Structure 1
Amino acid sequence: MEYKRGRYSWLLRPFLIIFDLAIINVLAFYFFNFNKTELVFFSINFFNNKHILYVVYSTVLWLASTSFLKFYEVYRYTSTINIFSLIIKQFVVFTIIMYAFIGAFRSIDVQSYTILRYLLLCCASISTVKLVSFYGLKSFRTFLRGNVRRVVIIGKGEGAQELKQLFTKRKALGYSIKGVFANSDNQQFTGDISDSFKFLNEGNGIDEIYCAIDELTEKQVNDYVKYAEVNHCNIKFIPTTNKLLTKRLKTDYYNYLPILSMPEVALNNDFNKFIKRIFDVIFAVLILVLVLSWLIPILFVLIKLESKGPLFYKHKRNGINYKEFYCYKFRSLKINKEMEGTYITQNDDRVTKIGRFLRKTSLDEFPQFYNVLKGDMSVVGPRPHMLSYTDDYSKKIDKYNFIFRHNVKPGVTGLAQIRGYRGEIKNDQDIINRIKFDNYYIENWSLVLDIKIIFKTIINVFRGQKEAY
């Protein structure tokens, strides 16, 4: 998510959208042969009211085309060439939309010259306001030092130094560097990596953190991501210039310097998150009421009879944006202590008899529906890893892919889980395939895919999986 703390420039986009829609519809009334009384009195037959029909038609298709072409996605680092490219592409599409309407309603008697004048005036008006607003903000940042973002840069490499020079020289971009941190004895740095965390926690109101990701350990990356999430600031990554850019993360160009950030995947847009959350809550409540209400008393007796210890076992896991949370399971071991760096192995003597059944059928995971209700987890998503494994796995996986995996809530079940990549990690290929299926799920999410994974999981509960032990 792109946070905009303490800024008013975000109001510019809604204003531009409303202005553009007003231009294309008001000018249409004056240029085309619409019956002017139709503006006040709606025709009994909606489709005979050409002006009202055109307003609906142009508004819907303008919004759809601008969304597809990202016409309003102009940022402080966007180049003028890119803005002109957006304008040209948008008005080529709008010209097609316009002629399609005139072709469909031949009763509208409009000369080609009139249509051309209409399109040129629309283009000129919209382009002028777009460019004036863009350069107006640049002047505001340059001369009045308003609309400024406070940033810190983490790293000492070529990319980090180039970014520092860019922010320092290009005042119109509106970035104020509050610190540059790297593990180096060079006096040009504000401090080392550990100092950066002290600086951030002092409440300096940082808006964006730029990390040279290849210079950091996985734990340091985790800590920056968690800080950004808690404090609602943006985190972006500076790749090494000799490495191919990943397709997993969003790439923006600051001048000619590539900067990576978390993409807005379909699973994380507001509407889809709302739909998925409603689905999660309904499904979790059904499981808690229809299954766990009678299963918990039975398992309490069976687990207690076989070994001492609590009914539930809780352990810390990494969730969305590396946020730590307690994940709940039915206890299946004789000892209720997480052994760092060890998965349960086949024929593990720590597993109780009832525990072996629970693990074989995945019933030990059912208390995690409580985590779903709390909002720490989703019914379907990448399975959460224990904290001790996050650092180990990240060393075997491309960091960009590993960060992408933590861009969504973890799930009680997931695509990798039903494909057999679960439980014990026997070799590097196991974790590589697990991350591959997790990222495929994130990129291709749909409610239908969630339902398909749930049905496959239910089948596996009754049939069992050879990897579940």
Structure 2
Amino acid sequence: MKKRYSKFVNPLLSIIDLVIITLIVYLIGDKEYLNKSFLIYTCFFWFFSAKATRFYNINRNTRLFQLLVLLIYQTIIFTLGYFTYFGFFREGEIIYNQTKILFSILITIWFFKILTFYTIRLYRSKGNNFRNIVILGNDSSTKKIKEVLVKDKDLGYRYLGFFSNKLKSNKEYLGTIKDSYLYILNNEVDEIFCSLNEVNEIDIKKIKKFANKNNKILKLIPNSKEIYNKDLSAEFYGNSLLILNVKKLPLEISENRILKRFFDIIFSILVCLFIFSWLFPIIILLIRIESKGSSIFKQTREGINGEEFLCYKFRSMYKSNSLDNGHTKKNDNRITKVGSFLRKTSIDEFPQFINVLLGQMSIVGPRPHMNIHSLKFDKEVRNYMKRKSVKPGITGLAQISGYRGEIQKKSDIENRVRLDVFYIENWSFILDLKIITQTTLNIFRGDEQAY
């Protein structure tokens, strides 16, 4: 099995840029500028502005012109943000030293970015860091893409052959479209180029599902009548050959996962310091006054990719052997009076911020289920397994939409899964903030479905 390191290139480049910024501030800047607030602001603004400009979204097919456009956009936005700091905190000072630091940062990063761009392309042109590709279809468009990929060696593609239902006596012919599935799995194929002229709509759906399940990159070669949708993005190979790229899910992009994890850590630390620190002992005392037993309830739940972990909650039931049996029902006689309040306000979930800090959960995501329930729902509910592609959350889109509590009929779990899948496919940082805000409001006004 070949090891792939390409996914680490852009995160590594972003870390190197932050190191460059830090070193320049310390080596070139005057002592009066060597303060933590300036350095933290500069690094954070670079990181978030780079995300906004998609500065690190460089792929094999990115051309020098596109790289220069990204550099110009990032330079303009970072320069405005850089001087904004001095406008707010160091107003009226001579700008010579400020400008010297800024120019040094930008010139160094421009040089490093372009040098890295050509170094990687040279490395790939020598036959390194390649990706195996196959083509589904055999028409004029597929022949053009094959010519580009074989000719431009610095793209780093290794062409293995093509599949077609229109049999051709050709040494590159590998079999029918149906034969491609097994070949792709057995020959470590990384990318699939598929002609929309030859492959029908039904087969396209099968190929998309196959590619997603087996973590293969799928690119579509369009015909003149193709209608684009939000799941596709256009890119050019060579000078004019259009290819449709099947987009990744938002949380399959490393920058988005880093942003989400960073927010999880900061938000959880703040909750633990300013809320949990004084609320925790009060709740423990109330729980123990009403009933005997541990104040923290631990239960094995399924996390990302089905990995099991211990999920923490404040105990809201009388201690008995039936705590793990089934979902809680309305007017459940196992629930204590204190527990009823904790569930109504969702405060019983607060210990899960510890799970977030441990990396087992996220603040927002599909709720984690027990293994026995997952096995049952996987057989009954379409797309249920897709929930496991992200970390489970303390709260989620389904919960703020009223789908929580007891599952009384099949539509209850179907609606939860539908909203969970929508969240996964449409994730954004703003959506997370909206869900957290709505959850906070529900804590104060209570939720009828929380019992």
Fold shared per TM-score above 0.5: yes
The answer as to whether partners of 2:400 and 2:435 remain within 8 angstroms in 1 is no
| Contact 2:218 2:245 (C-alpha < 8 Å) held by counterparts | no
1:57 to 37, 41, 48: 41
| Correspondence for 1:246 | 229
Which runs of structure 2 are paired with 1:169-208 in the superposition (5 Å)?
169-188=151-170, 189-201=173-185, 203-208=186-191
Aligned-residue offset at 1:135: 0.9
Q: 1:5 to 1:159 in 2, by over 3 A?
A: farther
Compared CA separation, residues 83 and 141, structure 1 to 2 (3 A):
same
Match of 1:303 in 2: none
SS of the residue corresponding to residue 190 of structure 1 reads strand
Alpha-carbon separation, structure 2, partners of 1:29 and 1:270: 30
Q: CA deviation at 1:170?
A: 1.2
SS of the residue corresponding to residue 226 of structure 2 reads coil
Aligned residue in 2 for 1:260: 245
Secondary structure in 2 matching 1:150: strand
Alignment of 1:50-89 (within 5 A): 50-89=34-73
Partner secondary structure for residue 15 of structure 2: helix
Q: Distance in 2 between matches of 1:105 and 1:158?
A: 61
Give distance in 2, aligned partners of 1:99 and 1:181.
56
CA contact (8 A) 1:252 1:260 kept: yes
Cα pair 1:32 1:110 within 8 Å, conserved: no
2:387/2:420 contact within 8 Å kept:
no
Report the equivalent of 2:117. Answer: 134
Q: Highest CA radius of gyration, 1 or 2?
A: 1
Report the Cα distance in structure 1 between the residues aligned to 2:139 and 2:400, rounded to whole angstroms: 38
Alpha carbons 1:20, 1:126 under 8 Å: kept: yes
- Tell me if the contact between 2:302 and 2:371 (Cα under 8 Å) persists in the aligned partners: no
Contact kept, 8 Å, 2:232 with 2:244, in 1: the verdict is no
- Per the alignment, do residues 436 and 100 of structure 1 end up closer, same or farther by CA in structure 2, a change over 3 Å counting? closer
- Counterparts of 1:449 and 1:262, CA distance in 2: 24
- Report the CA distance between 1:67 and its aligned residue: 1.3
Residue of structure 2 aligned with 1:34, choices 26, 31, 35: 31
Contact 1:33 1:108 in 2 (8 A): no
- Cα deviation, 1:384-404, whole Å, max 9, x if unaligned, reads 179xxxxxxxxxxxxxxxxx9
Q: Once structures 1 and 2 are overlaid, which stretch shifts more, 18-27 or 165-174? A: 18-27
Equivalent residue for 2:128, pick from 122, 128, 146: 146
TM-score normalised by L of structure 1: 0.56
Identity in percent: 21
* One-letter identity of the residue aligned with 1:121: S
2:104 alignment partner in structure 1: 121
Q: 2:213 aligned with 1:229, yes or no?
A: yes
- The one-letter code sitting in structure 2 at the alignment partner of 1:85 is V
Give the AA of the match of 2:246: S
| Aligned amino acid, residue 238 of structure 1 | I
Q: CA deviation at 1:84?
A: 0.4
Please name the residue that 2:3 is paired with: 6
Q: Which residue of 2 aligns with 1:18?
A: 15
TM-score normalised by the chain length of structure 2: 0.58
CA distance in 1, matches of 2:165, 2:236: 26
Alpha-carbon separation, structure 2, partners of 1:115 and 1:24: 13
Are the structure 2 counterparts of residues 277 and 124 from structure 1 closer, same or farther at C-alpha, using a change threshold of 3 Å?
farther
Contact 1:150 1:175 in 2 (8 A): yes
Q: Which residue among 91, 95, 99 is the counterpart of 1:111?
A: 95
Partner of 1:156: 138
Q: How does 1:278-317 map to 2 (within 5 A)?
A: 292=326
Post-superposition offset of 1:172: 1.2
Q: Any conservation in 1 of the 2:134–2:162 contact (CA below 8 Å)?
A: yes
Deviation of 1:91 (Å): 0.9
Q: Within 5 Å, give how 1:425-436 maps onto structure 2.
A: none
What residue is the counterpart of 1:165 in the other structure? 147
Which SS does the other structure have where 2:174 is aligned?
Answer: coil
Tell me the CA shift for residue 151 of structure 1.
0.7
Distance 2:388 2:193 in 1: 18
Paired with 1:383 and 1:174, the residues of 2 have a C-alpha distance of: 41
Q: Which amino acid letter does the alignment assign opposite residue 200 of structure 1?
A: I
Match of 2:51, SS state, is helix
- The answer to which structure, 1 or 2, has the higher relative contact order (CA under 8 A, 6+ apart) is 1
Find the counterpart in structure 1 of residue 86 from structure 2: 102
Aligned 8 A contact 2:231 2:246 in 1: no
What secondary structure is seen at the aligned counterpart in 2 of 1:243?
coil
Q: How far apart in 2 are the matches of 1:406 and 1:221? A: 22
* Residue of structure 2 aligned with 1:92, choices 73, 76, 91: 76
Q: Residue type matched to 2:131 in 1?
A: R
Per-residue CA shift, 1:86-109, capped at 9, x if unaligned? 111111111112211222333784
